[in-house]
Amino acid sequence: MHDERRRIEERVERVHTQRIKPAIYAATVPFEVEAWQAPGEPVPFAEAAAAPYEPFAMDTPWGPPWGTTWFRMRGQVPAEWAGKRVEAVIDLGFVGDWPGNQAEALVHLTDGTPLKAVNPLNQYVAIANPATGGEVIDYLVEAASNPDILANNFSAPTPMGDILTAGDKPLYTFQRADLAVLDEEVWHLDLDLQVLTELMVHLAEHEPRRHEIMHALDRAMDTLDLDDVSGSAAAVREVLAPVLARPAHASAHTVSGVGHAHIDSAWLWPIRETKRKTSRTFSNVTSLADEYEDFIFACSQAQQYEWVRDNYPKVWSRIQDSVKKGQWAPVGGMWVEADGNLPGGEAMARQLIHGKRFFIEHFGVETKGVWLPDSFGYTAAYPQLAKLAGNEWFLTQKISWNQTNKFPHHTFWWEGIDGTRIFTHFPPVDTYNARFSGEEMDRAVRNYREKGGGTRSLAPFGWGDGGGGPTREIMERARRLADLEGSPKVVIEHPDAFFAKAREEYEEAPVWNGELYLELHRATYTSQARTKQGNRRSEHKLREAELWATTAALHAPGYAYPYEKLDRLWKTVLLHQFHDILPGSSIAWVHREAEAEYARVAEELEALTAEAVAALGTGGTRVFNTSPCDRAEVVRTADGTPAYVEVPAGGSAPLTDAEPAQPVKAKGLVLDNGLVRVQVAEDGTLSSVYDLRSNREVLADKGNLLRLHTDLPNYWDAWDIDKHYKNRFTDLLSPDSVEVVSADPLLGAIRVTRSFGKGSTLTQTITLRADSPRVDFETEIDWHEAEKILKAGFPVDVRAAHSSAEIQFGHVQRPTHTNTSWEAARFEVSGHRWVHIGEPGYGVAVINDSTYGHDVSRTVREDGGTTTSVHLSLVRAPRIPDPEADQGKHRFTYSLLPGATIGDAVAEGYALNLPLRVADAAGAPEPVVSVDGDGVTVEAVKLADDESGDVVVRLYESSGGRARGVLRTGFPLAGAQVTDLLERPLPDEAAEIDDDGGIAVSLRPFQVLTLRLRRGATGR
């Protein structure tokens, strides 16, 4: 047989595109359209309905950046359309092939009822099927003119990322607003051709099935009457029916499809726009559920549900109905799809707590899995936290973006730092916006790494980010692919059902131990430093407010624990941990608002803490320690003078004139407190840090070396730092001044000022305190660089085989060598409050109060010694998507801790991030809880969320070994229970009170333990 593939494929493509698609709508009548441009921010429906509208013609420009235009569309279904399927078709002037990040609209009835959204790939609104003829249509359409921030493929920065800089030039030209008759036979023919042609071109050329489809398509084109597509469509479909009816092979892979619409809670649009995106998409989804009984939609992020509940009650009611029918599946069990690395341990627990509770309360549904398809890597703490929240499975997809190494599994057990395992799946379709194309189905099968062990994978389908979610066309594709030769089988089902089947057939799946590190987007540990600092400060201020509010509730008559305020503030912080806000990858508008929100949160939490402390009594001066570790350190009083205090963990002590054992001596540029001796060089670096306790020099070269690197990644400016950044740099070695600014026996300090680059300035106060080996670098930067990253380096004279970096409820160890491509790819990593390096018998920690990104490297010197270097990433200057990212002033502190064990790093990490509070207080009770036993660390103390008055304490083992201890309370204790994260009793776990009123605690490495403590009769 002659090879006629080219002729047939080109014939099918032309006829399909130029004749069949245009015939899908058999007849059209234009709407009469009027418009009103809303001034400023979006307005409620009632205001828009009462606004003055003016006539509006098609092909007219509309929509300034971030504007809202309301269109009134009136029309009447012609009488001759009776019995036909009639729809409204609206094209706002959609551009490009990205269904999100551009114009969108929500169509309302005149009584304010939202009907459905219109999006680039979802432009219809159902009117009648069948129509009776004569129906009068009157719509109010709220259209958002959102700009495309990433237009022109990242070629240049844009001012469009903030309403303050975007201008007012219209972005779109309205193309179409019609009443139309959908020719269902032609529409189905279009879908038949899509599925078959895409399947055909992705089959191997030697496959008989490819040629069978090709010749069937050729015969179908012969059957089509080009002058009467509608009249011949049924006959053409009959020709294609046999090839569409051929069943899949018995061994065909199964793709479990679940409807999905990944909507970033903020990214290239502000939070206010996400509130509208969710209403549009959720309107589409509930409409689609009415059309397709087999449709199932999985939706995460309780915050987005709450927005719809509060702002679109009619859409909310439809969601509730869909959940009851089993067509809408709440998943994920988190408040938002948070960043997978940066939130603190307690914050990550609260993400799960607040998300799970929302779905239980409003739908009676307890979600079973963590749904995080798009975060930028995943902490090794996740398996334990997910299980403690009652989850059974974990889903992500983002690791498929790895720059260097292909992840070896798609279905596996993920083991966390404490040994907990959770069943995990990466969809091999490599997208969370699937549409069941031939290319996607081919990729899903080709990629799948578990062949011979598993037979199925998941495919989330639907357009995200305001693209409108799943469409009827995608559902029709799924139906055709349910059992089709040459393709995997497609079944629409709940993700819980998929995970149950996948686990049943592949219980002995392989195990991946440790973090899921994304070999991309490494700069998200550093970009938008003020946003990250706001998060870190908020997490610790929340801890502080909860502890002292609990103390006051237990001991201060008349004090009321601020349940509602703390709940609201936690949710604000959790929202801003979304995986494009906290990582620093959003537009300027988002980060401008985030900084303002963090300031408001800090002010309110400060007031709550002050109120709680004041409730304990006034008339003296006390020092309050929120840290879980006892403190003996120098604190600054209200007038700024230093004082030395000793304060128990979680308790308070009077401010006294205690004398330290090791005061500070300052001589020239040398600070010495008998524990360490710090020498500052004339160039402002540390020329020596000598550990007097161990009689050894800590540094192998200049310490606190500030290095300014060129930082232009290949793509994704705010997201990525590529390895070549290391090749070009400038060391800041010419300070403007170096001077001693404090020679107090309690506190010695040397200040170094620098100016550099394009008008940037940096001031560092290098501080050594009495009785402490910790050297602080209090830093103020006025930053005006572009496409640069500033790092602070500490070359340490230790031979460290690995570094240890704090993560949620523990730490991870990472090799310092680059033996394999996996280690080499980790050239920038994340950590929380500290990173530790050491050799047997000696270690050093680098501690911070707001940075996350760092790198650790190792080299051998000419003298045979080994230098292990830690470089903290301080601040970046990407220009896309925010041209002014990180510009301006920053204040933060980082520290060097010589002679540190892991336990020392934990304690000082808390100390730096939880400064002692000096307040007017006459006295204070014993700490709410105290724990003896190394490694048993208190992370949270609060009252139970059910307002029962019970005290909830969250503990964890922080050293990486087994720990035993006894927990005691500062209040009468009547009972204790071990609970899950949601404060529900775990029946198989016991918490027994001994004769002295203590609770014995035994923890495995990095175990998290939540205790619910019932107060005795004499407690409030």
Gap between the Cα atoms of 166 and 145, Å rounded? 12
Q: What is the pLDDT of residues 43-79, one digit of tens each?
A: 999 999 999 999 999 999 999 999 999 999 999 999 9
pLDDT score for 1020: 41
- Dig out the tokens for 275 from the structure: 């509130």
Gap between the Cα atoms of 188 and 179, Å rounded? 20
Residue type, 369: G
Mean pLDDT value of segment 721-727: 97
Q: What is the pLDDT of residues 783-822, one digit of tens each?
A: 999 999 999 999 999 999 999 999 999 999 999 999 999 9
What proportion of the chain, given as a percentage, has pLDDT over 90?
A: 95
DSSP 3-state assignment of 352? helix
Residue 1 has pLDDT above 80, yes or no: no
Q: What is the pLDDT of residues 749-796, one digit of tens each?
A: 999 999 999 999 999 999 999 999 999 999 999 999 999 999 999 999
Q: Residue 723 carries which DSSP code?
A: G
Mean pLDDT value of segment 236-245: 98
Yes or no: say if 21 and 190 are a contact pair by the CB < 8 Å rule. yes
- Dig out the tokens for 412 from the structure: 């596996």
pLDDT score for 899: 98
Give the confidence band of 96 by pLDDT, cuts at 50, 70, 90. Answer: confident
- Dig out the tokens for 1010 from the structure: 């939540």
Residue 700: C-alpha distances to residues 96, 693, 794, 858, 867 (Å): 55, 18, 9, 12, 6
Q: How many residues does the chain have?
A: 1020
| Element (DSSP H or E) covering residue 602 | helix 588-615
Give the confidence band of 263 by pLDDT, cuts at 50, 70, 90. Answer: very high
DSSP 3-state assignment of 834? strand
- Dig out the tokens for 130 from the structure: 């069948």
Gap between the Cα atoms of 379 and 385, Å rounded? 10
pLDDT score for 1018: 63
- Dig out the tokens for 324 from the structure: 């009851």
Gap between the Cα atoms of 43 and 875, Å rounded? 38
Yes or no: say if 427 and 368 are a contact pair by the CB < 8 Å rule. no
pLDDT score for 154: 73
Q: What is the pLDDT of residues 439-484, one digit of tens each?
A: 999 999 999 999 999 999 999 999 999 999 999 999 999 999 999 9
CA 406-411-414 angle, to 5 degrees, is: 90
DSSP 3-state assignment of 845? strand
- Closest residue by Cα to residue 341 from 854, 822, 914, 846: 854
Yes or no: say if 868 and 837 are a contact pair by the CB < 8 Å rule. yes
Q: Determine how many CB atoms are found less than 10 A away from the CB of residue 436.
A: 27
pLDDT score for 1019: 42
Q: What is the pLDDT of residues 694-705, one digit of tens each?
A: 999 999 999 999
Q: Determine how many CB atoms are found less than 10 A away from the CB of residue 194.
A: 20
Q: What is the pLDDT of residues 587-609, one digit of tens each?
A: 999 999 999 999 999 999 999 99
The pairing of beta strand 456-461 with beta strand 393-395: unpaired
The pairing of beta strand 411-415 with beta strand 511-513: parallel
Mean pLDDT of the chain: 96
Catalytic residues: 374
Give the sign of the dihedral formed by CA 386, CA 940, CA 578, CA 531. Answer: negative
Q: Residue 985 carries which DSSP code?
A: B
Q: Pseudo-torsion of CA 576, 582, 588, 592, nearest 10°?
A: 50
Give the confidence band of 409 by pLDDT, cuts at 50, 70, 90. Answer: very high
Q: What is the pLDDT of residues 573-592, one digit of tens each?
A: 999 999 999 999 999 999 99
Gap between the Cα atoms of 631 and 747, Å rounded? 16
Residue 636 has pLDDT above 90, yes or no: no
Helices (H), 224-301: 229-245, 271-291
- Dig out the tokens for 549 from the structure: 């509010």
Yes or no: say if 107 and 118 are a contact pair by the CB < 8 Å rule. yes
Q: What is the pLDDT of residues 135-151, one digit of tens each?
A: 999 999 999 999 999 87
pLDDT score for 2: 78
Residue 923 has pLDDT above 80, yes or no: no
Q: Determine how many CB atoms are found less than 10 A away from the CB of residue 568.
A: 12
Mean pLDDT value of segment 266-278: 97
Gap between the Cα atoms of 635 and 1010, Å rounded? 32
